[in-house]
Chains A and B, each alone.
Chain A
């Protein structure tokens, strides 16, 4: 498991559910470090625009234990 790999959450846990992450969701590792067994995973959301016209996303960023993830698409540098 490494940065830019697409990973799937394989368990339902309260600490993930609290931020909207549930079993079966797929995200991308966006930090090279596994810290205390956790990867920083970002789950894609939608684009929205604020009142100033700035775009933002509803992406969810969450630290997830490696043991709770499987790689669904391994990243290979082109």
Chain B
């Protein structure tokens, strides 16, 4: 990766994304880096006056022009701090578990048909998984994603990913993937094929 590639990101439509990034802060509570900790936050929200959604956003990174509304609710005392733009593989990571491809995408009828008809089969699961991770990470740090649903489980984003074309036309296979944002620049794939955006 070149030095400037990390400073300016231009999406497929030629739009320059914000290079100002922020960290969502919910003071006085720890960041939920694991699923267990996220769950603890929900329980904490139940027993205290803290909002479980805000607790789950604590420590998450967003571009300034593509973040959940702040304040999120009346009496929300969350704030944001400017951070260095996340760097793929260093201060940002994407995780796509193999099960989401091998045991879900290639099992569900419509999804299996979609991948099969575009030249991919279950033997390509690891290749698809790795490619989705790499492309999504690059787009996340480029701010090239759409904010989706925010609920007890966390903030979802939709990222358009491309796989090399394997049909006669040879055009790249472009599709929408759904991710959950975790603190510290981490995103985890929820579903390998999703809506354009889930507000």
Contact = CB atoms under 8 A, between A and B. Distances in A.
A47 B198 CA distance: 15
A73 to B, nearest CB: 10
A57 B110 contact: yes
A55 B161 CA distance: 10
Contacts of B152: 35-36, 38, 63
A38 B46 CA distance: 14
A56 B149 CA distance: 16
Given A28-B108, A35-B153, A36-B152, A55 B191 contact: no
B103 A56 contact: no
Contact of A59 (B42, B103, B153, B193): B193
Interface residues of B, number: 37
Contact of B103 (A45, A57, A63, A77): A77
Interface residues of A, number: 31
Interface in B167-199: 171, 173-176, 178, 180, 190-191, 193-196, 198
Contacts of A52: 12, 174
Given A34-B39, A59-B191, 12 more contacts: A36-B46, A36-B52, A40-B153, A44-B108, A47-B114, A50-B196, A53-B171, A54-B176, A55-B173, A57-B194, A63-B151, A63-B152
